[in-house]
Amino acid sequence: MKKLFILLFLVGITIVLTACQPASDLESLGLANLTAKEILTQVENDTLDVDGFALSVYDDELLVITEDDRLSIPLPEDEFYLSVAPFINTTHECFYHSATGCRGELKNASFDVKYVASDGEVLYEATHNSQSNGFIDMWLPRNQEGTLTINYNDQTASKTITTYAEDPTCETTMQLS
């Protein structure tokens, strides 16, 4: 009887201590069973509540950052995430995109975007509205080098962009003129 009491006491303490710990797993954040691409798409569409965590996008992983933990979700092996904030007057330095923190100048604006490989093949072409944070998110083919061109009204910016391992996922140097 004494052993049963001790066992029940230890189980009870474990339950209480577990309940008191801050939640930092993907399920408790509402991210269970979501891929990195699905999470970033929901952030882009403003359909994901990001209170309580931050998101940083590296070349090969999405890092979910809470007060107590850093959880890694792999990015697709054949696609490269790039978030671009074209600007006219103001920008900031950035290398790896903070999907929950970076802010660009041109919010909710319409842009024509084209990514052309070095051999002339058009790899990506779309019209995008920038998000409420001023960024345009796109998924480009991995392991490419090409020219990204962005048109906004009568202004254009172009830059060579590569999508290799350890390349930046945040582009904030494309000044429209």
Q: What is the pLDDT of residue 33?
A: 87
Question: Of 43, 48, 55, which is closest to residue 135 (Cα–Cα)?
Answer: 43
Q: What is the pLDDT of residue 8?
A: 40
Q: Spell out the per-residue pLDDT of the chain, length 177, in tens.
A: 554 444 444 444 444 333 333 344 888 888 888 999 999 999 888 888 888 899 999 999 999 999 889 999 999 999 999 999 999 999 999 999 999 899 999 999 999 999 999 999 999 999 999 999 999 999 999 999 999 999 999 999 999 999 999 999 999 999 999
Measured distance CA(55)–CA(135) in Å, rounded? 15
Measured distance CA(4)–CA(10) in Å, rounded? 10
Structure token digits, residue 176: 């429209």
Q: What is the pLDDT of residue 32?
A: 87
Measured distance CA(38)–CA(32) in Å, rounded? 11
Q: What is the pLDDT of residue 1?
A: 52
CATH domain 79-171 topology: Immunoglobulin-like (2.60.40)
Instruction: Give the largest CA-CA distance in the chain.
Output: 83
Beta bridge partners of 111: 128
User: Would the CA dihedral through 30, 109, 56, 76 be positive or negative?
Assistant: positive
Q: What is the pLDDT of residue 16?
A: 39
Structure token digits, residue 133: 């944070």
Q: What is the pLDDT of residue 23?
A: 41
- 10 Å CB burial of residue 10 (0-12, 13-18, 19+) is exposed
